[in-house]
Structure 1
Amino acid sequence: MTPSISRDLIRHPGPKRSDRILSARGTVTTRTVTLPRGSVLMQAVAQAMDDAGCDSGVMVLDGLRIGPYRYVMPGPSHDADHAAWYSAPRDGGSGKIVFGTAIVGRRDGAWWLHCHARWTDGDATRMGHLLPDDVKLSEDAQITLHAFKGGAFEVLHDAETNFSIFHAMGGMADGNAVIAKINPHEDISSALETLIHGAGFARAKIHGIGSLIGAVFDGAPPMTSPISEVLIPPGAIWNGALHLPMECVDPDNGQYAGLLTKGRAPVCVTFEVMIVAT
């Protein structure tokens, strides 16, 4: 899928923004935080963020055991108000997250998070958007927090997509990290390269989640659905060239993974990223 073709498949209801990438520079410190057994995911994350004293962050939830929990899958829109939507909420009993990323920022002044994950539940492997107020932690967990200061993710209404989603706000003149919101139809690989070159990072690690209008991989089957939920798993780096693995799920629970081919994975609704110099 190319950005020019993607506009024929996904047409958002609002006017196209002139600024296609919203970014904020700041400083990241990485620490281990404890999310306690029996707590609700959103409450546990909010406490960890308060304790860290940061402005926003990315939590790596790999290995987290959850249950009971609720989640949604990507789905088509049934009206003209949005170009894509979600499935009805689905319930799960007991799961272990294989790959999971939570983007943490503020909504109406309170902590909020946006989380995509791939997890196992019994013999099933599932992937989707975890609902943070409906996920209970079944064991204590030691989780990596990339704590960001100097800018923030803040939920604001996005006129182009008609969603209330994270926007990167504020920022400093310098720092070892960049957070960003990448807007619809921008090729995710090209957008990341633009951000990295702009920051002047020689080497970096990349974290993020979002949605794509199809995805072509190097040496793996493509995802052809124009509606999806995706996450960047561990191993995404810049070292003079972009190495960008991606995990994807479509509305029919088709799951895809591989190294993205540059120019063949445009953003659907949004993509939220953190890039940290190494």
Structure 2
Amino acid sequence: MRRPAPQTLDDIRHPGPLAQDRLPHALCHAIKIECQVSAGEPLLDTLGRWADDTGFSSAVLDLSGVQLAAFDYVMPDRADDDRHAAWYSDTHSSKGTELEEAIAILGWRDGAWFAHIHAYWRENNTWHLGHLLPETLRFNDDANITGHGLVGARFEASLDPETEFTLFRVTSDRDAMSGKTANALITTLAPFTDLYEGITALGNQLPGDGYSVHGLGSLAGSHFEDGPPMTGLISEILLQNGAAKPQNGKLSLPLRTVDLNKGLFQGHATPGKCPTLVTNELLLVAQN
């Protein structure tokens, strides 16, 4: 039986001790990339092989427009034990579709390539946003994938003591940069860290004044500058294209969310009103 849904932030209790660093991050060098993939290939094997061939330690990739064969996915839901603050729904299945918007964080888990993917798509005249299970994904058509390959830092899955989830954590390897200048950083925000304010603070670590933002994660409710709020406190999100702080401008965070009741929300995040639920995995890239 699943636990009752939290009604306030005080109802959300993670089981472990608070991590001391609420904005863990690592500087790195990000390179814009294009990756050609072929119909019929398993997504995880293909992207891992590409990263091996190109020498990247991790990547943040845009899968928007990719055609997938049948796959499985889950959605945010209440915890089904007395430890976790949230969990996943039962597994759902898609017959295959084109992803309208999707972000993949490519990193490592148990010594092998792994991907954390959130996607938004239309199927059976209904829009969906979910967490795709990477081992079930296969390309249904040739595709050209864009994004950023990373050198000098990577996402690597390990048990997070605070939430007791196995999550991507940030690992630094500055020696691998071989003289390259740090023009980016990766981060995994801690629970209750505000998405907007956390990004703003981290952006100060980058050279220059402007940067783009890419990633996915979860929020404990959210307010939008241009849309109704998401009041459900268990959700998953993906940042949309255009999330950025222009030179001498204001940070803009357009995002999509789905709550535990399958409600879909979209808009520009309101500063101070988008607390992280479990984590947000992000890449910030300095603008030239």
TM-score (norm 1): 0.95
Residues 1:183 and 2:185 aligned together:
no
2:172 maps to which residue?
Answer: 170
2:21 maps to which residue?
Answer: 19
| Cα pair 1:249 1:256 within 8 Å, conserved | yes
1:156 maps to which residue?
Answer: 158
1:270 maps to which residue?
Answer: 279
Q: 1:115-160 CA deviation, whole Å, 9 max, x = no partner? A: 0010122422111000010122110110013000001111011000
Residues 1:231 and 2:238 aligned together:
yes
Q: Secondary structure at the match of 1:137?
A: coil
Amino acid at match of 1:269: V
State the alpha-carbon separation in 1 of the partners of residues 100 and 50 from structure 2. 21
Q: Secondary structure at the match of 2:163?
A: coil
2:72 maps to which residue?
Answer: 70
Alignment of 1:1-278 (within 5 A): 7-172=9-174, 174-239=181-246, 240-278=249-287
Could you tell me how far 1:25 is from its partner in structure 2?
0.6
Residues 7 and 222 of structure 1, relative CA distance in 2, 3 Å threshold: closer
Unaligned runs of at least 5 residues, structure 2: 1-6
| Cα pair 1:6 1:266 within 8 Å, conserved | no
Amino acid at match of 2:285: V
Q: Secondary structure at the match of 2:48?
A: helix
- Please state which structure has a larger fraction of its residues in strand: 1
Q: Size of the alignment, in residue pairs?
A: 274
| Cα pair 2:206 2:286 within 8 Å, conserved | no
2:3 maps to which residue?
Answer: none
Could you tell me how far 1:6 is from its partner in structure 2?
5.8
Q: Secondary structure at the match of 1:249?
A: strand
State the alpha-carbon separation in 2 of the partners of residues 220 and 214 from structure 1. 13
State the alpha-carbon separation in 1 of the partners of residues 136 and 258 from structure 2. 21
State the alpha-carbon separation in 2 of the partners of residues 186 and 35 from structure 1. 36
Residues 85 and 201 of structure 1, relative CA distance in 2, 3 Å threshold: farther
Runs of 4+ with >4 A deviation: none
Could you tell me how far 1:109 is from its partner in structure 2?
1.6
267-276 vs 249-258, greater mean Cα deviation: 249-258
Amino acid at match of 1:71: Y
State the alpha-carbon separation in 2 of the partners of residues 201 and 254 from structure 1. 38
State the alpha-carbon separation in 2 of the partners of residues 123 and 102 from structure 1. 24
| Cα pair 2:9 2:233 within 8 Å, conserved | no
2:4 maps to which residue?
Answer: none
Alpha-carbon RMSD across the aligned residues, in angstroms, is 1.4
Amino acid at match of 2:160: D
239-248 vs 54-63, greater mean Cα deviation: 239-248
